[in-house]
Structure 1
Amino acid sequence: MRMKRKHITGLLATALMVGGLLAGCSGKEEAAPASGDSKPKKAEFTFRLADNHPVDYPTVIGDKKFAELVNERTDGRIKIEVFPSGQLGDEKSVLEQVQLGAIEFTRINASPLAEFNDDISVLGLPYVFDSDEHLWNFLESEKGTELLDGLEASKMKGLAYYSSGSRSFYSTKPVKSLADLKGQKLRVQQSKVNIDLVSALGASATPMPYGEVFSGLQTGIIDGAENNLPSFDSSNHYQEAKNIILDHHQRTPEVLLISQTAWNKLSEEDQKIVKQAALDSVTTQKEEWAKWEQNSEKKLKDAGVTFTEVEDLTPWKEAVKPAIAQYHDKYKDLLDAIEAVK
């Protein structure tokens, strides 16, 4: 019996040794990375984001913050390369490429998106937002989110809104009041709302590509145009148009978009990461916009541009009422929602 016990004890010891060796070969030690495995993981997806503004413009800075957040939160699995300055084409052609899935992301003004979701037109109606705070109260509401979601039928998905400030009129001629706009030839975007707006204010609406505005001001084809302060500054239009009247007639935001094709490639978890990263990048973009606006105002005033702030918008609002009444009927529910978040 004693011999048998010794034999069994020996077998158990041997088994334990073998088991320990096997565990050492197939357990945690095997899974631990070698010193040469510390290289960054190769991206599963490399996407492109198109923006037509310069590299230091607030929307591009917002784009880059978004890309950075996505890269961090996916541990490098999703890489987004930002292409500013219209490198991938103008806004119209880029938007077409996003619909096709050839370009994955873009940043674009909300106005052209009304072609794909008619309700977005409400964001471009004049004098519907009293301030930036009023605008963002609406954009961040359920109705504002619904406008972004409404783009899915056109093979795009809206991720977030970016700030674009407010638009006002500037001219080569003195503009101190509403009466001074009468008869002036003012460049507008190719938009029925904008044409109706300018005509209702007594001016002559002149649709023209943005790139032709500077020469139009130089040659007198137009007397003025309308835009936000950073664009008035960066376009150099102030070199010809030395007068601006701040009526803040529109506060149309920018939109960060993803192609539905690219969206569908992502897992549900990654979709949530991309969406949240877009929303989180808004703070950076808004901060940069505020800085740029302040810098532009100082630069323009130093360059001799005369600023006139409209103290009472009532006459302006009354002047455009007949022209935009049709839109108020069409977008009643949305306009009620805008009114409710003042």
Structure 2
Amino acid sequence: MNNFLKGALAASLATVSFTTAALAGDWRGWNIHVEDYPVSHGMEAFVAEVAAKTDGALGGKVFHGGVLGSQPDAIEQVRLGAIDFGVFSLGPMGQVVPEANVVSLPFISKSVPDMYRLMDGEAGAALSAGLEAKGIKVLGFYDAGARSFYNAHKPINTPADVEGMKVRVMNNDLFVGMIESMGGNATPMAFAEVYQSLKTGVVDGAENNPPSYESTNHFEVAQYYSLSQHLIIPECLCMSKRTWDALSPEQQEIVAEAGKNSTDLQRKLWQERELASMQIVKDGGVMVNEIADKAPFQAAMEPVYAQFLTANPDLEGLVDLFKAN
């Protein structure tokens, strides 16, 4: 546990004494990430604060590394109450809650601070309402970074720079359309295959956030990193509505406050991790370039948005809400 996390936990729990036994509640928390990760630290802080402030009446255990099942399965188990809470990407949430797909539209958020403002405001409230209608109570929106392009050949400054490139993307029609709208060749493939595919030239590039780009060593074989920030998809600290509804109003207030404190902590830890990752890749010889004007990229996405809204006409108001803020 880093010094920041120790300090944050000490501050939030300073007025409450509790024992290890007090943490032995029966909530089960799902997490895909390894134990030493900003999301994981945020979840552990959440459980600790809830247990402390309820004298152990509430609490439980975070199961890291996806040991409670795949993300789609875990989302369904949260809806059913078989898993009490978890942190989920809003990407796969879109299969259950159509409103969540809006944050997967390229360039819908202009920057990470813009995402914070949107998710902590009216847009996030609209998404939360959609999730709650499906049995999922939102306690906070975690930072999962901004995805940017990297490749082995040249900096990307305009959409035309993507033309003809073979770019690995996640298996989602929105992301395939994103690359094709710039004249590139989208190549969906498993994340585990990307390093070798970059090394051998099966693909020219890919896209991801700085910690993923760094920790997978993709920066060793694709040394141009262009900060497009085209996808800023937050993760949701969520609770089963069945678990939430079983709480007293006083307990709900404690859990909601712990969720907010956990979100604030996770966002700070994520930003620290991103800075560290960026320094590592720069020290490794990566040529990082800012994209000063993202307007041409946003304009290139018009066919992607049109196709999305044709398939989801009832979400036009939510898309407009994101774009207007």
Given the alignment of the two structures, is residue 332 of structure 1 paired with residue 316 of structure 2, yes or no? yes
Does the 8 Å contact 1:175/1:181 carry over to 2? no
Deviation by residue 1:5-40 (Cα, 9 ceiling, x = unmatched): xxxxxxxxxxxxxxxxxxxxxxxxxxxxxxxxx988
Q: What is the CA-CA distance between 1:44 and the residue it aligns to?
A: 8.0
What secondary structure, in the 3-state scheme, does the structure 2 residue paired with 1:174 have? Answer: coil
Write out aligned runs for 1:171-320 (5 A): 171-178=151-158, 179-320=160-301
C-alpha distance in 2 between matches for 1:340 and 1:241:
35
Does the 8 Å contact 1:196/1:324 carry over to 2? no
2:78 match: 98
Q: What is the CA-CA distance between 1:43 and the residue it aligns to?
A: 6.3
C-alpha distance in 2 between matches for 1:323 and 1:339:
14
Does the 8 Å contact 2:22/2:52 carry over to 1? no
- Shifted more, 39-48 versus 321-330: the winner is 39-48
C-alpha distance in 2 between matches for 1:297 and 1:114:
30
Given the alignment of the two structures, is residue 115 of structure 1 paired with residue 95 of structure 2, yes or no? yes
C-alpha distance in 2 between matches for 1:317 and 1:187:
20
Deviation by residue 1:222-242 (Cα, 9 ceiling, x = unmatched): 222111111111222222221
Q: What is the CA-CA distance between 1:172 and the residue it aligns to?
A: 2.4
2:7 match: none
**Structure 1 residues 284 and 43 mapped into 2: Cα distance closer, same or farther (>3 Å)?**
closer
Q: What is the CA-CA distance between 1:161 and the residue it aligns to?
A: 0.3
- Shifted more, 91-100 versus 67-76: the winner is 91-100
One-letter code aligned to 1:295: A
Q: What is the CA-CA distance between 1:140 and the residue it aligns to?
A: 1.2
Does the 8 Å contact 1:164/1:289 carry over to 2? yes
Larger radius of gyration: 1
CA root-mean-square deviation: 2.2
C-alpha distance in 1 between matches for 2:215 and 2:91:
20
TM-score, normalised on structure 2? 0.85
Q: What is the CA-CA distance between 1:298 and the residue it aligns to?
A: 0.2
C-alpha distance in 1 between matches for 2:264 and 2:20:
29
Q: What is the CA-CA distance between 1:203 and the residue it aligns to?
A: 1.1
Q: Show structure 1 runs of 5+ residues with no match.
A: 1-37
C-alpha distance in 2 between matches for 1:97 and 1:217:
36
- Shifted more, 226-235 versus 82-91: the winner is 82-91
C-alpha distance in 2 between matches for 1:112 and 1:311:
30
- Shifted more, 84-93 versus 245-254: the winner is 84-93
Q: What is the CA-CA distance between 1:87 and the residue it aligns to?
A: 2.8
TM-score, normalised on structure 1? 0.81
C-alpha distance in 1 between matches for 2:92 and 2:233:
11
C-alpha distance in 1 between matches for 2:260 and 2:80:
24
Does the 8 Å contact 2:22/2:51 carry over to 1? no
Match of 2:104 among 124, 145, 151: 124
Q: What is the CA-CA distance between 1:51 and the residue it aligns to?
A: 1.4
Write out aligned runs for 1:135-174 (5 A): 135-174=115-154
One-letter code aligned to 1:134: D
Q: Give percent identity, aligned residues only.
A: 35
One-letter code aligned to 2:140: A
1:25 match: none
C-alpha distance in 1 between matches for 2:179 and 2:125:
29
- Shifted more, 213-222 versus 252-261: the winner is 213-222
What secondary structure, in the 3-state scheme, does the structure 2 residue paired with 1:334 have? Answer: helix
What secondary structure, in the 3-state scheme, does the structure 2 residue paired with 1:311 have? Answer: coil
Does the 8 Å contact 1:40/1:76 carry over to 2? no
2:40 match: 60
Deviation by residue 1:235-257 (Cα, 9 ceiling, x = unmatched): 22222221111111121111111
Given the alignment of the two structures, is residue 69 of structure 1 paired with residue 53 of structure 2, yes or no? no
Q: What is the CA-CA distance between 1:147 and the residue it aligns to?
A: 0.8
C-alpha distance in 1 between matches for 2:126 and 2:195:
37
Deviation by residue 1:180-199 (Cα, 9 ceiling, x = unmatched): 32222211112221111111
Aligned pairs, how many? 304
Q: Show structure 2 runs of 5+ residues with no match.
A: 1-17
One-letter code aligned to 1:66: F
Q: What is the CA-CA distance between 1:170 and the residue it aligns to?
A: 1.0
Match of 1:83 among 38, 63, 80: 63
- Shifted more, 304-313 versus 178-187: the winner is 178-187
C-alpha distance in 2 between matches for 1:49 and 1:116:
19
**Structure 1 residues 221 and 193 mapped into 2: Cα distance closer, same or farther (>3 Å)?**
same
Q: What is the CA-CA distance between 1:340 and the residue it aligns to?
A: 4.1
- Shifted more, 311-320 versus 299-308: the winner is 311-320
C-alpha distance in 1 between matches for 2:255 and 2:45:
12
C-alpha distance in 2 between matches for 1:316 and 1:101:
42
